Amino acid sequence: MSEKKIKLSEFNEVRDFVRAAEKCDYDVDVFYNRVIIDAKSLMGVLSLDLTRELTVKFSEEDMNFANVLDKYAIS
Residue 26's pLDDT is 94
Residue 1's pLDDT is 84
Residue 27's pLDDT is 94
What's this model's pTM, rounded to 2 decimal places? Answer: 0.91
Residue 23's pLDDT is 95
Phi-psi sector, 33: left (phi>0), alpha (psi -120 to 50), beta = left
pLDDT (tens, 9 = 90+) of the chain, 75 residues, equals: 889 999 999 999 999 999 999 999 999 999 988 899 999 999 999 999 889 999 999 988 889 999 999 999 996
Q: Is 54 helix (H, G, I), strand (E, B) or coil?
A: strand
DSSP state of 61: -
Domains and CATH numbers, the chain: 2-72 (3.30.1340.10)
